[in-house]
Amino acid sequence: MSQMQEPEKSSSNSQQILWVSPSPPKNRSVVYYSDIHTAMAGSKSIKPWVTVVDSGIGQKETVELLSFFKLRMPAVARVVKTDSDDVEFLRQLVNDVGVFCCIDADIKGEKENFILDKAIEKYRETSSRQKILADITSQNKRLEELTQNLEFLVEERTKSIESSKDEVAKKLRSLRQLVAFIKELSLSSIVDDWLLNIGSDVREFHGVGVPFLAFTPPNGTRRVITFRGKDLVEVEVEVSNVIGEMRSNNRDDQKFLANLFQRPIASVVAVPLGKETYSPVLYFEHSLSGASLIEFTDFLHQRLQPMMLSLDRILIEQQTRYASKQWELTFDSLQDPVSIIDLEYNVIRSNKSFYNLKQKNSCYQIFASRTNKCQGCPVEKAMMAGSSQSGRIHIKNKMFEVFSFPVGNPPTNFINYYADITNERKLFSRLVQNEKMAALGSLAGNIAHELNNPLTGIRSLAQLLQVEADKYNKADFKNDLVEIEKATERSHKTVKNLLEFSRPTSLQDSEVVSINEVIDRTLPMLKTALRDHRSEVDLSDEKLNVKVNLQLLQQVVFNIVLNACQAMSEPGQIEISTHLIKSHKGADAEIWVRDTGHGIAKEDLEHVFEPFFTTKEMGQGTGIGLSMSKSIIERFGGKIFIESKPGTGTTVKVRLPLA
């Protein structure tokens, strides 16, 4: 009996798979038969791509059924599901039946789908090869039909020509030579062999030399080839020598060959052989005349059609190979990666810049070494929109602009072009950072100009009023004035820190500074970011001096604390502390910044220091803060670590060697 099963997720079509097993497969759409007899009868009305036979129907029956399929449907990929380890049975399957593969009877799901898809792919390749062979066979069949017609003509003429046995024998020999000649031409696969066969065929005419062939190969450079002994001689042609019909002893032909080969040329018979695409012309140098020349031209007329058909076939095949090679070279010469993928993200073809395909088959596995789709990949958008889309993906320390172009309507494949924009983004990010610092410097300068003078006046006035308060014993009034003086001092210090933070600097401007002092200078500039969170600052009493650039270390602390604030969507807690770390290698100073945010996912943790990597929404971050901080710390001989677990927050540790 047969029945259709509901499919599970698979690219296999029900009409492509004929399934024979004691029980129907679950969750799969196939043409199902339970025994050998119904399968043999039912297979005559369908054209499957893959046959799957479960050896549970019997080993003997399995071999018999697969042999039947092999005889009736040789191109179909044959798959056997078996749990048998019988060596003789397996040998019969492989050697006698020619199965595509044997798989364990327990294999189900995606692995089974993968094997069936490979079997369908094998069927397609076999069908494609058979189609190509059919096309070649069709051309050979035309030549064979011509041969049969000529043989029939030989037989007919043999019956009618009885008056002259010598003439009949001569013509019969000529026709048989022609048949043999056509067969030889049909076997020629390159122009060299074709020309050798022509030369051998005209050898009976003693006054005819080796032939010359002028033609335009697929590369577009017209040339003339001939043989000198056993060596092929090939000369490029600078002038056109195309003719319309066969001609004898034309002076232009003699002059053309004489100039080309730099020697005297005797009389010439020129034979045009067809299409303007290649414009082939066959030349024969000869010393014939009169009846001998007429006999030779008649001889060529008889062979004209077979020569044209066979040469045209050879040149078309050569052009196809050349075009395929040119496309492959062009594809591989692109410096940017290019790939062609299917709807399942499997790579069908790629250039060398993308990857040399081995075992992996998904674009994200091959290009990004991932187990799932790349974040920012535009293929899904292109699939939905049916038009080209673009997106940006991160691969290790690089950023790519990916352009995805759908092929077909609806799309069946996608061409992905990967443009490396890493340097461009780095330059852009540096430009943005420089503009930010320049704007901050300008703002700091204006603030310093506008605030320092009034603050100086307020401080001076507070000091004078303190003297007056001493005269009149106003202790409470004096205490208030002292607080005013301290507030102006703090304001002066804040303005000074802001100026120093925004001042242009470089790695060469290193000095010994206290990390506690760096934190004290930086935190006032983060009051806006910290106002919604509870912050705890615990600075070590140890002397934690390090040799760094003050402004660059401030930028690192600023970036890390700002990231911690942004990681908490709700009011939370930030702990900032400094520590002395001792080990057998020496002593280091560490800055710890701990938040109570949502944490960092495990798969993202290894990418946080990559340039432009960010999990924030578009416009909320550039993805260069941590990358820049890591670069700065490492240049001063330090390290930066991140400890995080989703749901429990994140701790960033900056370690620097003590000065």
CATH of the domain at 623: 3.30.565.10
Q: What is the pTM of this model?
A: 0.38
* Domain count within the chain: 4
Judge if 344 and 425 occupy the same domain. Answer: yes
Peptide bond into 410 cis (omega under 30): yes
Domain assignment present for 8: no
In a domain, 18, yes or no: no
Residue 325's CB is within 10 A of a number of other CB atoms, namely: 11
pLDDT at 619: 47
Using an 8 Å Cβ cutoff, are 417 and 353 in contact? no
User: Which range of residues forms the domain containing residue 379?
Assistant: 338-504
Q: Mention every residue, 6+ apart, whose C-beta is less than 8 A from residue 518.
A: 550, 553, 554, 557
Residues 393 and 526 reside in one and the same domain: no
DSSP track, 221-268: --EEEEEETTEEEEEE-SS----SS-EES-HHHHHHHHHHHTS---EE
Last residue of a domain, one of 329, 358, 391: 329
**CATH code of the domain containing 84:** 3.40.50.2300
Residues 300 and 365 in one domain: no
Domain membership flag for residue 7: no
pLDDT < 50 stretches in the chain? 1-14, 357, 359, 618-619
Residue 137 forms part of a structural domain: yes
Residue with tokens 């001092």: 489
Q: How many helices (H) and strands (E) does the chain have?
A: 17, 24
Q: How would DSSP label each residue in 51-93?
A: EEEEGGG-HHHHHHHHHHHHHH-TTSEEEEEE----HHHHHII
pLDDT at 6: 36
Residue 104: per-residue pLDDT: 86
Query: For residue range 580-600, what is the model confidence (pLDDT) as tens digits?
Result: 988 888 889 999 999 988 888
For residue 550, which amino acid is it?
Answer: L
3-state secondary structure of 566: helix
pLDDT tens per residue, range 358-382: 545 778 777 777 778 887 888 888 8
One domain for residues 379 and 480: yes
Same-domain check for residues 345 and 490? yes
Distance of alpha carbon 498 from alpha carbon 394, whole angstroms: 35
Q: Is 281 helix (H, G, I), strand (E, B) or coil?
A: strand
Among residues 477, 504, 531, the one where a domain terminates is 504
Residue 1 identity = M
| pLDDT for res 41 | 86
Residues 549 and 429 in one domain: no
Is 412 found in the same domain as 544?
Answer: no
Provide the pLDDT for residue 4.
Answer: 41
